[in-house]
Amino acid sequence: MLYWAVTIQYSVPDICDNFSDSIQVGDIHFQSYGKKKSFYGQVETLFCPDDNSLVKKLLNTNGNNKVLVVDASSNAHTSMVGDQIAAAAKKNNWAGIIVNGYIRDIEVIANIDIGVLAKASVPLKTNKDDFGKQGVNLYFNNVIIKPGFWIYVDTNGWVVSKNKLEF
């Protein structure tokens, strides 16, 4: 199986310089927790405050090198992703996970070869009520993120594009 991330041929600052008219720049700096610090892919979205049931279900399906963007409404008292979910995402060919919220098991996630961004860590797990919605438009920190958009991440930040960018 061939993975896209053998060599990354872009940087987010270069994307900003060359595609400024066709991207949105994330204006918050998420913390990077996964082993992979640069990643990109087509977006899948979830809105699920205080319940990571759908996160777990989705990341246990074939990701086709997509990036899952989870809006947890900045829920600060529970974590949306832990080591088992991150490992499942890697196993199932997800390029990365971005959580507008919190994660846990960060010392283990640091050794999983996947991109993981989140606001911070908190040790408490979420409820398990299958609450949330998949494939919805998300809006946080002045960025609109829709299913099918493309997201590009490196240590400088992240950007979103309606279409795949050609370098």
Separation in Å, CA 135 to CA 20, 102, 117, 118 = 26, 20, 19, 20
Q: What is the pLDDT of residues 128-138, one digit of tens each?
A: 999 999 999 99
Whether the per-residue pLDDT at 15 is higher than 90: the answer is yes
pTM: 0.93
* pLDDT above 70 coverage of the chain, percent: 95
Three-state secondary structure string covering 28-62? CCCEECCCCCCEEEEEEEEECCCECHHHHHHHCCC
Domain boundaries, the chain: 26-159
What is the C-alpha R_g of the chain? 14
What is the CATH number assigned to the segment(s) 26-159?
Answer: 3.50.30.40
9 is in an annotated binding site: no
Separation in Å, CA 29 to CA 4, 57, 119 = 24, 27, 8
Closest of 39, 49, 67, 50 to residue 145, by C-alpha? 67
Are 67 and 42 a contacting pair, CB within 8 Å?
A: yes
Q: What is the pLDDT of residues 70-103, one digit of tens each?
A: 999 867 789 999 999 999 999 999 999 999 999 9
98 is in an annotated binding site: no
17 is in an annotated binding site: no
31 is in an annotated binding site: no
